[in-house]
Structure 1
Amino acid sequence: MIIRVRQVAAVCALGAALTACAATPQAPRAKAAHPAPSAAAPSHPPTLAPGPAGLTPVFKHGPRTADKAVALTFDADMTADQGARAAAGERFDNPRLIATLRALKVQATVFMTGRWAEEYPAEARSIGRDPLFEVANHSYSHYAFTGDCYGLPTLSEDRMRSDVERAYTAFREAGVPDAMPYFRFPGGCYDRTALKALTPAGVTAVQWDVVSGDAFATDADAVASQVLEGVRPGSVVVMHCTRSAAPATERAVRRIVPELRARGYRFVKVSQLIGAKGLS
Protein backbone atom coordinates (compact mmCIF):
# COMPACT_ATOMS: atom_id res chain seq x y z
CA MET A 1 0.00 0.00 0.00
CA ILE A 2 1.42 3.36 -1.00
CA ILE A 3 1.16 5.98 1.74
CA ARG A 4 1.24 9.38 0.10
CA VAL A 5 0.68 12.98 1.08
CA ARG A 6 -1.57 14.71 -1.48
CA GLN A 7 -0.56 18.32 -1.24
CA VAL A 8 -2.06 21.40 -2.78
CA ALA A 9 -1.61 22.01 -6.50
CA ALA A 10 1.24 24.42 -5.90
CA VAL A 11 3.31 21.69 -4.29
CA CYS A 12 2.61 19.44 -7.27
CA ALA A 13 3.86 22.21 -9.54
CA LEU A 14 7.00 22.54 -7.48
CA GLY A 15 7.79 18.85 -7.88
CA ALA A 16 7.43 19.08 -11.64
CA ALA A 17 9.49 22.26 -11.91
CA LEU A 18 12.30 20.92 -9.79
CA THR A 19 12.74 17.91 -12.06
CA ALA A 20 12.60 19.65 -15.41
CA CYS A 21 16.30 19.02 -16.01
CA ALA A 22 16.81 16.01 -13.73
CA ALA A 23 19.22 13.23 -14.59
CA THR A 24 20.11 9.90 -13.06
CA PRO A 25 22.15 10.42 -9.89
CA GLN A 26 25.77 9.34 -9.91
CA ALA A 27 27.03 6.45 -7.87
CA PRO A 28 27.12 7.07 -4.12
CA ARG A 29 30.32 8.31 -2.56
CA ALA A 30 29.62 7.45 1.07
CA LYS A 31 28.91 4.41 3.18
CA ALA A 32 27.92 6.04 6.45
CA ALA A 33 24.29 7.11 6.77
CA HIS A 34 25.12 10.36 8.52
CA PRO A 35 28.25 12.07 9.81
CA ALA A 36 29.53 11.56 13.29
CA PRO A 37 28.51 14.49 15.49
CA SER A 38 31.05 16.96 16.79
CA ALA A 39 31.72 17.46 20.47
CA ALA A 40 29.52 20.54 20.50
CA ALA A 41 26.43 18.65 19.33
CA PRO A 42 24.27 16.09 21.12
CA SER A 43 25.91 12.67 20.73
CA HIS A 44 22.57 11.01 20.16
CA PRO A 45 19.91 13.23 18.55
CA PRO A 46 16.43 11.99 19.41
CA THR A 47 14.90 9.54 16.95
CA LEU A 48 11.81 7.37 16.99
CA ALA A 49 11.93 3.64 17.53
CA PRO A 50 11.59 1.54 14.36
CA GLY A 51 8.06 0.89 13.21
CA PRO A 52 6.38 -2.49 12.70
CA ALA A 53 8.73 -5.14 11.28
CA GLY A 54 11.64 -2.80 11.98
CA LEU A 55 10.66 -0.32 9.27
CA THR A 56 11.91 3.28 9.25
CA PRO A 57 9.69 5.25 11.67
CA VAL A 58 7.61 8.17 10.40
CA PHE A 59 7.08 11.38 12.39
CA LYS A 60 4.27 13.78 11.45
CA HIS A 61 3.76 16.05 14.46
CA GLY A 62 4.65 16.44 18.10
CA PRO A 63 2.48 16.04 21.18
CA ARG A 64 -0.80 17.97 21.20
CA THR A 65 -0.17 19.45 24.62
CA ALA A 66 -0.69 22.77 26.35
CA ASP A 67 2.97 23.49 25.60
CA LYS A 68 2.31 25.24 22.30
CA ALA A 69 5.40 24.31 20.33
CA VAL A 70 5.52 24.46 16.52
CA ALA A 71 8.32 23.55 14.10
CA LEU A 72 8.79 25.55 10.93
CA THR A 73 10.61 23.44 8.36
CA PHE A 74 12.05 24.60 5.04
CA ASP A 75 12.89 22.35 2.11
CA ALA A 76 16.00 23.52 0.25
CA ASP A 77 15.26 21.80 -3.04
CA MET A 78 17.55 21.28 -6.00
CA THR A 79 17.64 18.28 -8.30
CA ALA A 80 20.69 16.35 -9.42
CA ASP A 81 20.97 18.10 -12.78
CA GLN A 82 19.91 21.69 -12.29
CA GLY A 83 23.40 23.12 -12.28
CA ALA A 84 22.93 24.63 -15.73
CA ARG A 85 19.85 26.49 -14.55
CA ALA A 86 21.74 27.80 -11.52
CA ALA A 87 24.62 28.87 -13.77
CA ALA A 88 22.13 30.73 -15.94
CA GLY A 89 20.99 32.76 -12.95
CA GLU A 90 18.12 30.82 -11.39
CA ARG A 91 18.31 30.99 -7.61
CA PHE A 92 17.47 27.88 -5.63
CA ASP A 93 18.58 29.49 -2.37
CA ASN A 94 16.89 32.21 -0.30
CA PRO A 95 19.37 34.18 1.84
CA ARG A 96 16.76 36.79 2.75
CA LEU A 97 14.55 34.11 4.31
CA ILE A 98 17.41 32.82 6.44
CA ALA A 99 18.28 36.38 7.47
CA THR A 100 14.67 37.01 8.49
CA LEU A 101 14.57 33.85 10.60
CA ARG A 102 17.75 35.02 12.31
CA ALA A 103 16.42 38.52 12.87
CA LEU A 104 13.24 37.12 14.39
CA LYS A 105 15.23 34.55 16.41
CA VAL A 106 13.19 31.64 15.05
CA GLN A 107 14.52 28.13 15.47
CA ALA A 108 13.91 26.04 12.37
CA THR A 109 14.86 22.84 10.55
CA VAL A 110 16.15 22.98 6.98
CA PHE A 111 15.66 19.81 4.93
CA MET A 112 18.41 20.13 2.36
CA THR A 113 19.17 18.16 -0.77
CA GLY A 114 22.76 17.19 -1.30
CA ARG A 115 22.74 18.91 -4.68
CA TRP A 116 21.67 22.16 -2.98
CA ALA A 117 24.57 21.89 -0.52
CA GLU A 118 26.97 21.39 -3.42
CA GLU A 119 25.62 24.47 -5.22
CA TYR A 120 25.60 26.70 -2.12
CA PRO A 121 28.28 25.30 0.21
CA ALA A 122 28.87 28.58 2.07
CA GLU A 123 25.15 28.94 2.79
CA ALA A 124 24.83 25.29 3.79
CA ARG A 125 27.79 25.67 6.15
CA SER A 126 26.41 28.90 7.64
CA ILE A 127 23.01 27.32 8.28
CA GLY A 128 24.54 24.13 9.65
CA ARG A 129 26.77 26.00 12.11
CA ASP A 130 24.09 28.38 13.38
CA PRO A 131 22.57 27.14 16.67
CA LEU A 132 19.19 28.51 15.59
CA PHE A 133 18.98 25.88 12.87
CA GLU A 134 19.48 22.20 12.22
CA VAL A 135 20.12 20.59 8.84
CA ALA A 136 18.28 17.42 7.90
CA ASN A 137 18.29 15.23 4.79
CA HIS A 138 15.98 15.72 1.80
CA SER A 139 17.85 13.21 -0.43
CA TYR A 140 20.70 13.99 -2.79
CA SER A 141 18.80 14.05 -6.06
CA HIS A 142 15.22 15.03 -5.10
CA TYR A 143 14.00 11.95 -6.97
CA ALA A 144 10.89 10.13 -5.78
CA PHE A 145 11.00 7.04 -3.58
CA THR A 146 7.73 5.74 -5.08
CA GLY A 147 6.14 5.81 -8.51
CA ASP A 148 3.52 8.40 -9.43
CA CYS A 149 4.84 11.15 -7.16
CA TYR A 150 3.94 14.48 -8.74
CA GLY A 151 5.92 13.74 -11.89
CA LEU A 152 9.25 13.24 -10.12
CA PRO A 153 11.65 10.69 -11.63
CA THR A 154 11.74 7.54 -9.52
CA LEU A 155 14.70 5.98 -7.73
CA SER A 156 15.01 2.22 -7.88
CA GLU A 157 14.87 0.40 -4.56
CA ASP A 158 18.57 -0.41 -4.67
CA ARG A 159 19.48 3.28 -5.02
CA MET A 160 17.34 4.69 -2.21
CA ARG A 161 19.72 4.27 0.69
CA SER A 162 22.75 5.38 -1.34
CA ASP A 163 20.95 8.56 -2.42
CA VAL A 164 20.34 9.46 1.23
CA GLU A 165 23.92 8.64 2.18
CA ARG A 166 25.27 10.72 -0.69
CA ALA A 167 23.41 13.74 0.66
CA TYR A 168 25.14 13.34 4.03
CA THR A 169 28.48 13.23 2.20
CA ALA A 170 27.61 16.48 0.41
CA PHE A 171 26.76 18.10 3.76
CA ARG A 172 30.11 17.05 5.24
CA GLU A 173 32.00 18.33 2.22
CA ALA A 174 30.18 21.68 2.47
CA GLY A 175 31.24 21.97 6.11
CA VAL A 176 27.94 21.14 7.83
CA PRO A 177 29.19 19.60 11.08
CA ASP A 178 26.18 17.74 12.47
CA ALA A 179 23.42 16.97 9.99
CA MET A 180 20.55 15.33 11.84
CA PRO A 181 19.39 11.72 11.31
CA TYR A 182 16.07 12.91 9.88
CA PHE A 183 14.91 12.39 6.32
CA ARG A 184 12.09 13.98 4.33
CA PHE A 185 10.89 12.08 1.28
CA PRO A 186 10.79 14.18 -1.91
CA GLY A 187 7.16 14.98 -2.58
CA GLY A 188 6.29 13.41 0.76
CA CYS A 189 5.78 10.11 -1.10
CA TYR A 190 6.74 6.82 0.51
CA ASP A 191 5.59 3.22 0.82
CA ARG A 192 6.61 0.11 2.70
CA THR A 193 9.38 -0.63 0.20
CA ALA A 194 10.94 2.80 0.74
CA LEU A 195 10.70 2.53 4.52
CA LYS A 196 12.37 -0.88 4.41
CA ALA A 197 15.13 0.32 2.08
CA LEU A 198 16.05 3.14 4.49
CA THR A 199 15.99 1.04 7.68
CA PRO A 200 19.78 0.45 7.61
CA ALA A 201 20.36 4.22 7.36
CA GLY A 202 18.97 4.69 10.87
CA VAL A 203 16.96 7.79 10.01
CA THR A 204 13.54 8.95 11.20
CA ALA A 205 11.33 10.00 8.30
CA VAL A 206 9.76 13.41 8.91
CA GLN A 207 6.50 14.43 7.26
CA TRP A 208 4.23 17.32 8.36
CA ASP A 209 0.68 18.17 9.34
CA VAL A 210 0.51 21.74 7.94
CA VAL A 211 1.07 22.50 4.24
CA SER A 212 1.93 26.17 3.72
CA GLY A 213 1.08 26.28 0.02
CA ASP A 214 4.10 28.50 -0.61
CA ALA A 215 5.26 26.73 -3.79
CA PHE A 216 5.12 29.31 -6.59
CA ALA A 217 2.79 31.45 -4.47
CA THR A 218 3.01 35.21 -4.96
CA ASP A 219 0.44 36.15 -2.31
CA ALA A 220 2.30 36.09 1.00
CA ASP A 221 -0.87 36.81 2.96
CA ALA A 222 -2.56 33.73 1.49
CA VAL A 223 0.40 31.57 2.50
CA ALA A 224 0.44 33.04 5.99
CA SER A 225 -3.31 32.55 6.40
CA GLN A 226 -3.09 28.91 5.38
CA VAL A 227 -0.36 28.27 7.96
CA LEU A 228 -2.11 30.20 10.72
CA GLU A 229 -5.37 28.34 10.11
CA GLY A 230 -3.67 24.94 10.22
CA VAL A 231 -1.23 25.19 13.12
CA ARG A 232 -1.97 23.24 16.30
CA PRO A 233 0.29 22.48 19.26
CA GLY A 234 3.04 20.17 18.05
CA SER A 235 2.58 21.03 14.37
CA VAL A 236 5.25 20.58 11.73
CA VAL A 237 4.85 23.17 8.95
CA VAL A 238 6.35 22.48 5.52
CA MET A 239 7.67 25.50 3.60
CA HIS A 240 10.46 26.07 1.10
CA CYS A 241 13.85 27.77 1.06
CA THR A 242 13.99 28.14 -2.72
CA ARG A 243 13.80 31.69 -4.03
CA SER A 244 12.74 30.95 -7.61
CA ALA A 245 10.10 28.38 -6.66
CA ALA A 246 8.73 29.96 -3.48
CA PRO A 247 9.15 33.73 -3.81
CA ALA A 248 6.58 34.76 -1.17
CA THR A 249 7.86 32.62 1.72
CA GLU A 250 10.03 35.23 3.42
CA ARG A 251 7.20 37.78 3.45
CA ALA A 252 4.79 35.17 4.77
CA VAL A 253 7.17 34.27 7.60
CA ARG A 254 7.25 37.91 8.71
CA ARG A 255 3.50 37.70 9.33
CA ILE A 256 3.36 34.12 10.64
CA VAL A 257 5.97 34.46 13.36
CA PRO A 258 4.61 37.44 15.34
CA GLU A 259 1.02 36.22 15.04
CA LEU A 260 1.81 32.73 16.34
CA ARG A 261 3.86 34.23 19.17
CA ALA A 262 0.89 36.43 20.07
CA ARG A 263 -1.15 33.23 20.34
CA GLY A 264 1.34 31.77 22.79
CA TYR A 265 3.31 29.54 20.44
CA ARG A 266 7.05 29.04 20.60
CA PHE A 267 9.23 27.91 17.71
CA VAL A 268 11.32 24.77 18.05
CA LYS A 269 13.36 22.46 15.85
CA VAL A 270 12.05 19.10 14.68
CA SER A 271 14.52 17.39 17.02
CA GLN A 272 12.80 19.01 20.00
CA LEU A 273 9.38 17.76 18.89
CA ILE A 274 10.74 14.28 18.29
CA GLY A 275 12.35 14.33 21.72
CA ALA A 276 9.06 15.39 23.29
CA LYS A 277 7.22 12.68 21.35
CA GLY A 278 9.58 10.06 22.73
CA LEU A 279 8.81 11.18 26.26
CA SER A 280 5.02 11.38 25.83
Structure 2
Amino acid sequence: MIAPAHKLNARRLAALTATCALTSLALTALAACGSQSAPGAGSRDRTARTTVSAPPRPATLAPGPAGLTPVFKNAPRTPASTTPTVALTFDADMTADQGPRAAAGERFDNPALVRTLRREKVPATFFMTGRWAEEYPAQARSIGRDPLFEVANHSYSHYAFTDRCYGLPTVPASRMRADMERAFAAFRKAGVEHQVPYFRFPGGCYDKRSLRALAPGGVTAVQWDVVSGDAFATDADAVARQVLDGVRPGSVVVMHCTRSAAPTTERALRTIIPELRERGFRFVRVSEQIRAAGARG
Protein backbone atom coordinates (compact mmCIF):
# COMPACT_ATOMS: atom_id res chain seq x y z
CA MET A 1 0.00 0.00 0.00
CA ILE A 2 1.31 3.44 -0.92
CA ALA A 3 1.65 5.86 1.98
CA PRO A 4 -0.02 9.19 1.81
CA ALA A 5 1.99 12.05 0.36
CA HIS A 6 2.34 13.93 3.65
CA LYS A 7 3.80 10.80 5.31
CA LEU A 8 6.30 10.36 2.45
CA ASN A 9 7.40 13.96 2.81
CA ALA A 10 7.86 13.46 6.55
CA ARG A 11 9.98 10.36 5.96
CA ARG A 12 12.12 12.12 3.34
CA LEU A 13 12.65 15.02 5.74
CA ALA A 14 13.70 12.65 8.57
CA ALA A 15 16.11 10.82 6.28
CA LEU A 16 17.59 14.07 5.04
CA THR A 17 18.03 15.28 8.63
CA ALA A 18 19.79 12.05 9.63
CA THR A 19 22.10 12.28 6.62
CA CYS A 20 23.02 15.85 7.48
CA ALA A 21 23.74 14.87 11.10
CA LEU A 22 26.00 12.01 10.04
CA THR A 23 27.82 14.29 7.61
CA SER A 24 28.28 16.89 10.36
CA LEU A 25 29.68 14.26 12.75
CA ALA A 26 32.09 13.04 10.12
CA LEU A 27 33.31 16.55 9.38
CA THR A 28 33.69 17.23 13.11
CA ALA A 29 35.72 14.06 13.56
CA LEU A 30 37.96 14.97 10.64
CA ALA A 31 38.42 18.46 12.01
CA ALA A 32 39.22 17.04 15.43
CA CYS A 33 41.85 14.71 13.98
CA GLY A 34 43.31 17.63 12.09
CA SER A 35 43.41 19.79 15.20
CA GLN A 36 45.24 17.03 17.13
CA SER A 37 47.79 16.25 14.48
CA ALA A 38 48.68 19.83 13.65
CA PRO A 39 49.97 20.79 17.11
CA GLY A 40 51.90 17.54 17.29
CA ALA A 41 53.62 18.27 14.01
CA GLY A 42 54.23 21.84 15.08
CA SER A 43 55.67 20.64 18.37
CA ARG A 44 58.00 18.30 16.55
CA ASP A 45 59.08 21.13 14.28
CA ARG A 46 59.69 23.43 17.25
CA THR A 47 61.63 20.70 19.02
CA ALA A 48 63.76 20.15 15.95
CA ARG A 49 64.54 23.85 15.74
CA THR A 50 65.44 24.12 19.46
CA THR A 51 69.09 23.66 20.36
CA VAL A 52 70.06 23.01 23.96
CA SER A 53 73.39 24.60 24.77
CA ALA A 54 75.65 23.11 27.42
CA PRO A 55 76.07 25.17 30.59
CA PRO A 56 79.17 27.36 30.55
CA ARG A 57 82.31 25.88 32.01
CA PRO A 58 82.73 27.11 35.59
CA ALA A 59 85.18 29.97 35.77
CA THR A 60 88.42 29.53 37.69
CA LEU A 61 91.15 31.92 38.71
CA ALA A 62 94.62 31.75 37.23
CA PRO A 63 97.24 30.09 39.47
CA GLY A 64 98.72 32.34 42.11
CA PRO A 65 102.40 33.24 42.57
CA ALA A 66 104.74 30.26 42.08
CA GLY A 67 101.80 28.28 40.70
CA LEU A 68 99.99 28.07 44.02
CA THR A 69 96.25 27.41 44.17
CA PRO A 70 94.49 30.78 43.67
CA VAL A 71 92.28 32.11 46.46
CA PHE A 72 89.00 33.95 45.88
CA LYS A 73 87.37 36.04 48.58
CA ASN A 74 84.75 38.25 46.94
CA ALA A 75 83.84 39.77 43.58
CA PRO A 76 84.76 43.36 42.67
CA ARG A 77 82.65 45.98 44.42
CA THR A 78 80.22 47.13 41.74
CA PRO A 79 79.45 50.82 41.24
CA ALA A 80 76.10 52.16 42.42
CA SER A 81 74.81 52.26 38.83
CA THR A 82 74.85 48.46 38.47
CA THR A 83 72.85 45.76 40.22
CA PRO A 84 74.82 44.50 43.24
CA THR A 85 75.25 40.77 43.65
CA VAL A 86 75.76 38.52 46.67
CA ALA A 87 76.59 34.82 46.87
CA LEU A 88 75.17 32.76 49.72
CA THR A 89 77.31 29.70 50.43
CA PHE A 90 76.51 26.80 52.73
CA ASP A 91 79.01 24.40 54.23
CA ALA A 92 77.71 20.84 54.54
CA ASP A 93 80.10 19.73 57.27
CA MET A 94 80.61 16.18 58.42
CA THR A 95 83.90 14.72 59.57
CA ALA A 96 85.07 11.25 58.67
CA ASP A 97 84.50 9.94 62.21
CA GLN A 98 80.98 11.26 62.82
CA GLY A 99 79.18 8.22 61.43
CA PRO A 100 78.26 6.86 64.90
CA ARG A 101 76.73 10.20 65.86
CA ALA A 102 74.63 10.20 62.69
CA ALA A 103 73.60 6.60 63.36
CA ALA A 104 72.50 7.66 66.85
CA GLY A 105 70.16 10.29 65.38
CA GLU A 106 72.24 13.47 65.15
CA ARG A 107 71.30 15.42 62.02
CA PHE A 108 74.03 16.88 59.88
CA ASP A 109 71.61 17.89 57.11
CA ASN A 110 69.01 20.66 56.85
CA PRO A 111 66.26 19.90 54.30
CA ALA A 112 64.16 22.88 55.47
CA LEU A 113 66.96 25.25 54.49
CA VAL A 114 67.14 23.77 50.99
CA ARG A 115 63.34 24.03 50.66
CA THR A 116 63.48 27.71 51.64
CA LEU A 117 66.10 28.46 48.99
CA ARG A 118 64.00 26.67 46.38
CA ARG A 119 60.78 28.36 47.42
CA GLU A 120 62.46 31.78 47.26
CA LYS A 121 64.31 30.84 44.04
CA VAL A 122 67.69 31.79 45.53
CA PRO A 123 70.78 30.41 43.75
CA ALA A 124 73.43 29.13 46.13
CA THR A 125 76.71 27.22 46.32
CA PHE A 126 77.02 24.23 48.65
CA PHE A 127 80.49 23.36 49.90
CA MET A 128 80.03 19.70 50.68
CA THR A 129 82.31 17.21 52.37
CA GLY A 130 82.59 13.79 50.80
CA ARG A 131 81.53 12.24 54.07
CA TRP A 132 78.31 14.29 54.01
CA ALA A 133 77.55 13.11 50.46
CA GLU A 134 78.01 9.52 51.60
CA GLU A 135 75.73 9.98 54.60
CA TYR A 136 73.00 11.77 52.62
CA PRO A 137 73.39 10.61 49.00
CA ALA A 138 69.77 11.33 48.03
CA GLN A 139 70.03 14.89 49.31
CA ALA A 140 73.42 15.39 47.69
CA ARG A 141 72.01 14.16 44.38
CA SER A 142 68.93 16.39 44.69
CA ILE A 143 71.01 19.47 45.45
CA GLY A 144 73.54 18.59 42.77
CA ARG A 145 70.91 18.22 40.05
CA ASP A 146 68.98 21.38 40.84
CA PRO A 147 69.87 24.18 38.37
CA LEU A 148 69.56 26.68 41.23
CA PHE A 149 72.59 25.19 42.98
CA GLU A 150 76.16 24.14 42.45
CA VAL A 151 78.24 21.79 44.59
CA ALA A 152 81.83 22.58 45.52
CA ASN A 153 84.41 20.64 47.51
CA HIS A 154 84.85 21.05 51.26
CA SER A 155 87.31 18.12 51.59
CA TYR A 156 86.37 14.53 52.28
CA SER A 157 86.94 14.37 56.02
CA HIS A 158 86.65 18.00 57.17
CA TYR A 159 90.07 17.65 58.75
CA ALA A 160 92.27 20.75 58.77
CA PHE A 161 94.81 21.49 56.04
CA THR A 162 97.01 23.42 58.47
CA ASP A 163 98.14 22.96 62.03
CA ARG A 164 96.13 24.58 64.85
CA CYS A 165 92.81 25.08 63.11
CA TYR A 166 90.00 25.19 65.67
CA GLY A 167 91.12 21.90 67.17
CA LEU A 168 90.42 19.89 63.99
CA PRO A 169 92.55 16.84 63.22
CA THR A 170 95.12 17.56 60.51
CA VAL A 171 95.50 16.03 57.06
CA PRO A 172 99.17 15.33 56.23
CA ALA A 173 100.45 17.37 53.30
CA SER A 174 101.07 14.16 51.35
CA ARG A 175 97.36 13.29 51.61
CA MET A 176 95.76 16.69 50.99
CA ARG A 177 95.12 16.32 47.27
CA ALA A 178 93.91 12.72 47.74
CA ASP A 179 91.46 13.91 50.39
CA MET A 180 90.05 16.49 47.99
CA GLU A 181 89.82 13.98 45.12
CA ARG A 182 88.07 11.50 47.40
CA ALA A 183 85.34 14.07 48.01
CA PHE A 184 84.84 14.63 44.27
CA ALA A 185 84.59 10.85 43.85
CA ALA A 186 81.90 10.72 46.57
CA PHE A 187 79.93 13.40 44.72
CA ARG A 188 80.07 11.44 41.48
CA LYS A 189 78.97 8.27 43.23
CA ALA A 190 76.00 10.09 44.77
CA GLY A 191 74.95 11.40 41.34
CA VAL A 192 75.87 15.06 41.82
CA GLU A 193 75.82 16.70 38.38
CA HIS A 194 76.58 20.39 39.00
CA GLN A 195 80.08 20.03 40.45
CA VAL A 196 82.33 23.05 40.25
CA PRO A 197 86.15 23.08 40.63
CA TYR A 198 86.16 25.09 43.86
CA PHE A 199 87.55 24.09 47.23
CA ARG A 200 86.86 25.52 50.65
CA PHE A 201 89.39 24.71 53.35
CA PRO A 202 87.84 23.33 56.54
CA GLY A 203 87.78 26.17 59.04
CA GLY A 204 89.03 28.46 56.27
CA CYS A 205 92.57 27.55 57.37
CA TYR A 206 95.25 27.39 54.68
CA ASP A 207 98.92 28.19 54.12
CA LYS A 208 101.45 27.96 51.29
CA ARG A 209 101.96 24.26 51.95
CA SER A 210 98.27 23.45 51.46
CA LEU A 211 97.96 25.78 48.46
CA ARG A 212 100.92 24.02 46.89
CA ALA A 213 99.48 20.57 47.63
CA LEU A 214 96.17 21.31 45.89
CA ALA A 215 97.62 23.19 42.90
CA PRO A 216 97.81 20.12 40.60
CA GLY A 217 94.06 19.63 41.10
CA GLY A 218 93.28 22.86 39.21
CA VAL A 219 90.81 24.17 41.77
CA THR A 220 90.17 27.69 43.01
CA ALA A 221 90.09 28.04 46.80
CA VAL A 222 87.02 29.99 47.91
CA GLN A 223 86.95 31.97 51.14
CA TRP A 224 84.42 34.69 52.08
CA ASP A 225 84.15 38.28 53.22
CA VAL A 226 81.02 37.91 55.39
CA VAL A 227 80.92 35.54 58.36
CA SER A 228 77.33 34.77 59.31
CA GLY A 229 78.15 33.57 62.81
CA ASP A 230 75.53 30.83 62.46
CA ALA A 231 77.77 28.04 63.78
CA PHE A 232 76.26 26.91 67.11
CA ALA A 233 74.17 30.10 67.22
CA THR A 234 70.81 30.04 68.98
CA ASP A 235 69.56 33.52 67.98
CA ALA A 236 68.36 33.66 64.37
CA ASP A 237 67.88 37.43 64.52
CA ALA A 238 71.49 37.94 65.56
CA VAL A 239 72.69 35.82 62.64
CA ALA A 240 70.53 37.79 60.22
CA ARG A 241 71.80 41.12 61.58
CA GLN A 242 75.41 40.03 61.26
CA VAL A 243 74.91 39.05 57.63
CA LEU A 244 72.93 42.14 56.71
CA ASP A 245 75.48 44.42 58.39
CA GLY A 246 78.35 42.79 56.54
CA VAL A 247 77.08 42.34 52.99
CA ARG A 248 78.55 44.58 50.29
CA PRO A 249 78.27 44.34 46.50
CA GLY A 250 80.16 41.24 45.40
CA SER A 251 80.10 39.62 48.84
CA VAL A 252 80.44 35.92 49.57
CA VAL A 253 78.59 34.89 52.74
CA VAL A 254 79.59 31.73 54.61
CA MET A 255 76.78 29.85 56.34
CA HIS A 256 76.05 26.24 57.24
CA CYS A 257 73.37 23.68 56.34
CA THR A 258 73.96 21.38 59.29
CA ARG A 259 71.08 21.24 61.77
CA SER A 260 73.12 19.96 64.70
CA ALA A 261 75.79 22.66 64.38
CA ALA A 262 73.75 25.54 62.95
CA PRO A 263 70.13 25.18 64.06
CA THR A 264 69.03 28.77 63.38
CA THR A 265 70.28 29.27 59.81
CA GLU A 266 67.02 28.54 58.02
CA ARG A 267 65.10 30.97 60.24
CA ALA A 268 67.75 33.63 59.65
CA LEU A 269 67.32 33.21 55.88
CA ARG A 270 63.67 34.23 56.17
CA THR A 271 64.92 37.68 57.20
CA ILE A 272 68.10 37.85 55.10
CA ILE A 273 66.60 37.03 51.71
CA PRO A 274 63.76 39.60 51.57
CA GLU A 275 65.90 42.32 53.16
CA LEU A 276 68.74 41.93 50.64
CA ARG A 277 66.23 41.91 47.79
CA GLU A 278 64.69 45.08 49.20
CA ARG A 279 68.16 46.63 49.05
CA GLY A 280 68.41 45.71 45.37
CA PHE A 281 70.78 42.75 45.64
CA ARG A 282 70.67 39.88 43.17
CA PHE A 283 71.57 36.40 44.46
CA VAL A 284 74.15 34.47 42.43
CA ARG A 285 76.28 31.37 42.72
CA VAL A 286 80.00 31.63 43.46
CA SER A 287 80.82 30.72 39.86
CA GLU A 288 79.19 33.95 38.71
CA GLN A 289 81.14 35.97 41.26
CA ILE A 290 84.40 34.40 40.10
CA ARG A 291 83.53 35.10 36.49
CA ALA A 292 82.83 38.73 37.41
CA ALA A 293 86.35 38.89 38.83
CA GLY A 294 87.74 38.41 35.35
CA ALA A 295 88.42 34.71 35.72
CA ARG A 296 89.21 32.33 32.91
CA GLY A 297 86.86 29.65 31.65
TM-score by length of 1: 0.85
Whether 1:206 aligns to 2:222 is: yes
Whether 1:197 aligns to 2:213 is: yes
Q: Deviations over 1:45-104 (max 9, x none)?
A: 100000001100000000100330000000000000111100100000000000000011
| One of 253, 259, 265 as aligned partner of 1:243 | 259
Q: Which residue of 2 aligns with 1:184?
A: 200
Aligned-pair CA distance for 1:241: 0.5
Q: Which residue of 1 aligns with 2:282?
A: 266
| 1:29-40 correspondence runs (5 A) | none
Q: Distance in 1 between matches of 2:283 and 2:243?
A: 14
Q: Distance in 1 between matches of 2:55 and 2:200?
A: 21
Q: Which residue of 2 aligns with 1:68?
A: 84
Q: Distance in 1 between matches of 2:53 and 2:104?
A: 39
Aligned-pair CA distance for 1:177: 1.6
Q: Which residue of 1 aligns with 2:167?
A: 151
Q: Secondary structure at the match of 1:233?
A: coil
Tell me the amino acid that sits aligned with residue 271 of structure 2: R
Aligned-pair CA distance for 1:43: 5.6
Q: Which residue of 2 aligns with 1:105?
A: 121
Whether 1:44 aligns to 2:89 is: no
Aligned-pair CA distance for 1:278: 1.2
Tell me the amino acid that sits aligned with residue 75 of structure 2: G
| One of 89, 102, 111 as aligned partner of 1:86 | 102
Tell me the amino acid that sits aligned with residue 274 of structure 1: I
Q: Secondary structure at the match of 1:180?
A: strand
Q: Distance in 1 between matches of 2:210 and 2:125?
A: 23
Q: Secondary structure at the match of 1:176?
A: coil
Q: Deviations over 1:219-273 (max 9, x none)?
A: 0000000000000000000000001100000000010000000000010000000
Tell me the amino acid that sits aligned with residue 92 of structure 1: F
Q: Deviations over 1:153-183 (max 9, x none)?
A: 0011000000000000000000002310000
Q: Secondary structure at the match of 2:206?
A: strand
Q: Tell me which stretches of 4 or more aligned residues in structure 1 moved more than 6 Å.
A: none
Larger radius of gyration, structure 1 or 2?
A: 2
Q: Which residue of 2 aligns with 1:253?
A: 269
Matched pairs, number: 242
Q: Distance in 1 between matches of 2:209 and 2:115?
A: 39
Whether 1:95 aligns to 2:108 is: no
**Contact (CA 8 Å) 1:41, 1:178: kept in 2 or not?**
no
Q: Distance in 1 between matches of 2:149 and 2:131?
A: 19
| 1:4-43 correspondence runs (5 A) | 42=55
Q: Which residue of 1 aligns with 2:233?
A: 217
Whether 1:167 aligns to 2:183 is: yes
Whether 1:234 aligns to 2:250 is: yes
| One of 124, 129, 152 as aligned partner of 1:136 | 152
**Contact (CA 8 Å) 2:61, 2:295: kept in 1 or not?**
no
TM-score by length of 2: 0.80
Q: Distance in 1 between matches of 2:206 and 2:283?
A: 27
- Check 1:43–1:64 CA distance in 2 against 1; reply closer, same or farther (3 A cut): closer
Q: Secondary structure at the match of 1:224?
A: helix
- Check 1:133–1:245 CA distance in 2 against 1; reply closer, same or farther (3 A cut): same
**Contact (CA 8 Å) 2:126, 2:149: kept in 1 or not?**
yes
Aligned residues with identical type, % of pairs: 77
Tell me the amino acid that sits aligned with residue 63 of structure 1: P
